[in-house]
Amino acid sequence: MIALLVQGLAICSVSWLLWKYFRQVVVKSPLDNIPGPPSGSFLYGNYKQILDRNGWGFLNYLTDSYPGIAKLYGPLGRRILYVFDPTAMHNIIVKDQYVFEEASWFVRTNDIIFGPGLLSTLGDHHRKQRKLLNPVFSIAHMRRMIPVFNQVGHRLVKAIDDRVRGQDAAVELDMLSWMGRTALELIGQAGLGYSFDPLTADSPDSFAEAVKAFMPTNLKIVFLRRMEPYIPNFGSPALRRWLVKFIPNPDAQKMQSIVDTMWRGATEIYEAKKLALEQGDEAVTRQIGEGKDLMSILLRANMNAEEQDRLPEVELIGQISTFIFAAMDTTSNALVLTLSLLAEHPEVQQKLRQEILDASKGEDLEYDTLVSLPYLDAVCRETLRLHAPVAQVFRETRQDVVLPLSEPVRGLDGKMMHEIPIPKDTTVVVGLLSSNTNKRIWGEDAMQWKPERWLSPLPEKVTEAKVPGVYSNLMTFLGGGRACIGFKFSQLEMKVILCLLLSKFTFAKSDKKIIWNLAGVRFPTAGDTGKASYPMKVALYKPTSA
């Protein structure tokens, strides 16, 4: 009898999984009428094209060939949507953001990797976390970060100066490594009241190495991550992290080691902050940041919050782990992108350097001056427009929904469609980079890096499009309730570091072949090693006499 019951349960479970997955394949769908490219293969659909590290050409093809929406195929024939129409994006990430939720594989695997932080929660749980965290990233707190940013930035300048001074020619340095170490130390001191790296040694410590190895390793197991929703959800994230060691895959084992290193570091930071707060104000002021760092502010706010609004310890540790990864990888890669573009355009590099030198006069810039430098702002905005660190995000519909469009599209049946009915459980890919480079909005020069476009009023088509991004008519930092909570922190960090570096050094391209890899966060590799790296030729800046 028990054997028959177990057999029946097994049959029902398998049948449910098959129906859940193959329903879209066998049932006719309104998505069938939407134009799109052919499937790459039945097994993978178009996933290998949009997830391939060299998939930039395919994203450009989608951007140039389709009017804001295209039908793609997922594994085994499942239909998915690729969207960069501004009205449709507004509905996805703002108006109906709780219908278009984060993909299940993304949330569940992030819970295993980072713990229950902002990247791992949904609905009311996410809103509760966000409510407590939003005030931490206010402009008032950002202003107080400037001295810390400058202090860390000067340590970076000294480290580079020690390596290039006295050399007859420019010295080749891995600027990705230096930017990653600097970004980690900045989020450490300004965000967590903790020092990771004095920026003196030639190579980073094990923690920084682990965080920087995350994205290249993640790229190798991306299809494993997408299988997670079809695995029973049992035990704690810690238990599931432990079980990963039994997966016979070297990249999965490496990811487990990276995650364990990050989690140990986050726990150590939390315990130190908690102990200092328990010991009183004197102990807090003895810590790095003197209790003015973002995590100290968060812990105090959590202690003073109503009981129903407080976050448990595991979620606070999850926020630390999330902050470290998000603040280090995206900002450091964006800084390297900016330096690489300045190396390709030496005239822009010198113009920006002169603006910085004229404003600073040898002194550190105050907040109000820093954020008001027009050319610095234009260079940063244009880099983040054309080279958004995150190219696309995935959503899944939790119920049937109708998606309106800003402009009608012609269906395969020849009829014009003003809105698209989307069935429950449909995967939707939001093309952040496609929106930023959409020629229908930004003009025919959308694929050109032109900082000057930000020095005059933007074209009417840009403002009229009402792109739902939280930053400068761009989707770089997303929008809605899941917009990047630390985008002001990131912008400030970029500007401080660029000002300090360009005042002292010149940057030129290396002779090595560099490839920018499409990933969850884009990253560069040099040569054929596969290791994240970006060598550049760095020299002391020598002003020419008038």
Segments of 400-513 assigned E as strands:
401-410, 416-422, 427-431, 505-509
Which position has the higher pLDDT, 388 or 226?
Answer: 388
pLDDT in tens, 64-77: 999 999 999 999 89
Q: In this structure, what DSSP letter does residue 393 have?
A: E
pLDDT of residue 133: 86
Domain range list for the chain = 38-540
Which position has the higher pLDDT, 126 or 281?
Answer: 126
C-alpha span between 176 and 330 (Å, rounded): 11
pLDDT of residue 251: 87
C-alpha span between 132 and 162 (Å, rounded): 42
**Among 312-321, 373-382, 417-426, where is mean pLDDT lowest?**
312-321
DSSP β-bridge partners for residue 428: 81, 395
Q: What band does 28 get if pLDDT is binned at 50, 70 and 90?
A: confident
Q: Is the confidence at residue 447, as pLDDT, over 80?
A: yes
pLDDT in tens, 116-146: 999 999 999 999 989 888 888 888 888 989 9
Q: What band does 531 get if pLDDT is binned at 50, 70 and 90?
A: confident
**423: its two tokens:** 């069935």
Question: Which of these, 93, 94, 48, lies nearest to 73 by C-alpha position?
Answer: 48
**89: its two tokens:** 């994006």
Which position has the higher pLDDT, 203 or 88?
Answer: 88
Question: Which of these, 407, 326, 412, lies nearest to 84 by C-alpha position?
Answer: 407
**Among 396-410, 467-481, 516-530, where is mean pLDDT lowest?**
516-530
C-alpha span between 150 and 125 (Å, rounded): 36
> Is 499 labeled as ligand-binding?
no
3-state helix, strand, coil in the chain (%, to 5): 60, 10, 30
Side-chain-facing half-sphere of 81: CA atoms under 13 Å: 30
Q: Is the confidence at residue 352, as pLDDT, over 90?
A: yes
Q: Is the confidence at residue 443, as pLDDT, over 90?
A: yes
**99: its two tokens:** 């219908």
Q: What band does 16 get if pLDDT is binned at 50, 70 and 90?
A: very low
C-alpha span between 213 and 400 (Å, rounded): 39
Residue partners of 287: CB distance under 8 A and separation at least 6: 193, 272, 273, 276, 296
Domain 38-540 in CATH 1.10.630.10: yes
* Amino acid code (one letter) for 403: L
Answer yes or no: pTM beyond 0.75. Answer: yes
Average pLDDT over residues 454-464: 95
Q: In this structure, what DSSP letter does residue 425 have?
A: T
**376: its two tokens:** 């610095």
C-alpha span between 487 and 493 (Å, rounded): 10
CB atoms within 10 A of CB 198: 12
C-alpha span between 82 and 414 (Å, rounded): 20
Q: Is the confidence at residue 418, as pLDDT, over 90?
A: yes
Across the chain, what does the average pLDDT equal? 89
